[in-house]
Amino acid sequence: MLQYKRSTIKEVAQVAGVSTMTVSRVINGRPDVAPQTRQRVRQVIQQLGYQPSALARSLIQQRSYTLGVVVAGLKYLGPSRTLNGIAAKAETMGYSLLLKELPHFDTRDITPIFQSLLARHVDGIIWAVPQIGDNHAWLQGHCTEQPVPMVFLTMESWPELPVVAVDNYLGGRLATRHLLEQGYRRIGHLAGPQEWWEARQRLAGWQAALQEAGLPALDTQWVEGNWSSSSGAQAILQLFSQYPEMEAVFVANDQMALSALQAAHRRGRQVPQDLGVIGFDGMPEAAYFWPPLTTVAQDQQALGSLAVQQLVDLIEAHQAGQSLDITGPVLLEPGLVIRESTRRLS
């Protein structure tokens, strides 16, 4: 039977000929250690394969080095990618995660979630639940009563709260402006579910770009889907019916854009000559649609990574008895990925 022996800090100190306090200072990056001593201790740590105890570090520093993450809707592409970014960044910063998934987006009783996380002494919380309807209304009574630092994702700006989000409004404008630059003028919109803050922002960006170009953005020029390809199939047929002169369509996500491409093909409309189609998300599969889909790409892994960095900054400031000024939301700019589905002009 295999047996494993874990090296101790005392053994490192004995081999290196220093005190355990000196070893601890080297491990924690303290500056008050002579360079030669620091190098010798690090060599012994590597030689013995010593791994500092996370539990001991937590007890000494009175921190758990654990972040609570509250999520919902992991079946959707965005939330799952964001969680990947959170996990990767937390790993590099020496934090573990305690994950709690809400059963529904509109879960009202969030007290048990907080109690569970705080009982496990998390150092901070990332609230990674998209804003849908009034599912953030609980903040009205809690925004100044947070027991640990918190960062919120994918929601509208809120006074004195750290919010990290993709600039969906800018993304909607980028998509519509690109279609205008390709010579399209009658541009429709296949929107996401309007309960979602992200979907409303993309719709607003489409409206703003058309109005800036002196073009109408009427209610008959857009319809609502629910992010799924099946909903997109129904919505695009409705849009063809109520806006038959449509020359191009900005679709609020890539999955519904796949339905728009299929519907155009079945109607004998050539993409991009007869109908330009642009999506939103930047899913890797979009490059293999036919024709390959132009899309507004959002880096949701970077979104998760940035949330962890901001939360750790808040935790460090809290530990030092300081405060960080929250001047407004941190918005990540999406980028345009141009492919054949809109490339009508050279």
Which pLDDT score is estimated for 57?
54
Which residues neighbour 92 within 8 Å (Cβ) at sequence distance 6 or greater? Answer: none
| Distance from the first to the final alpha carbon of the chain | 70
Cα 184 from Cα 223, distance rounded (Å): 19
CB–CB of 217/210 below 8 Å?
Answer: yes
Cα 130 from Cα 137, distance rounded (Å): 13
pLDDT surpassing 90 at residue 155: yes
Q: What is the mean pLDDT of residues 208-216?
A: 98
Query: Rounded to whole angstroms, what are the CA distances from 97 to 77, 92, 93, 156, 305?
Result: 20, 12, 11, 25, 13
Nearest to 105 by CA among 77, 126, 74, 84: 74
Confidence label for 189 from pLDDT (cuts 50, 70 and 90): very high
Tell me the per-residue pLDDT of 26-68, one tens digit each, with 9 for 90 and over.
876 777 888 899 899 889 888 887 776 554 554 445 578 999 9
Which pLDDT score is estimated for 142?
61
Nearest to 51 by CA among 99, 8, 87, 90: 8
pLDDT surpassing 90 at residue 227: yes
Which pLDDT score is estimated for 52?
66
Confidence label for 320 from pLDDT (cuts 50, 70 and 90): confident
Which residues neighbour 40 within 8 Å (Cβ) at sequence distance 6 or greater? Answer: 16, 17, 18
- The pLDDT mean for the chain works out to 90
Q: What is the mean pLDDT of residues 128-152?
A: 83
- DSSP-derived letter for residue 224 is E
CB–CB of 189/252 below 8 Å?
Answer: yes
Range of 4-13, 18-27, 191-200, 315-324 with top mean pLDDT:
191-200
- Residue ranges of domains in the chain, CATH in brackets: 9-52 (1.10.260.40), 66-167+301-332 (3.40.50.2300), 168-298 (3.40.50.2300)
Tell me the per-residue pLDDT of 81-117, one tens digit each, with 9 for 90 and over.
999 999 999 999 989 999 999 988 888 788 889 899 9
Cα 95 from Cα 91, distance rounded (Å): 6
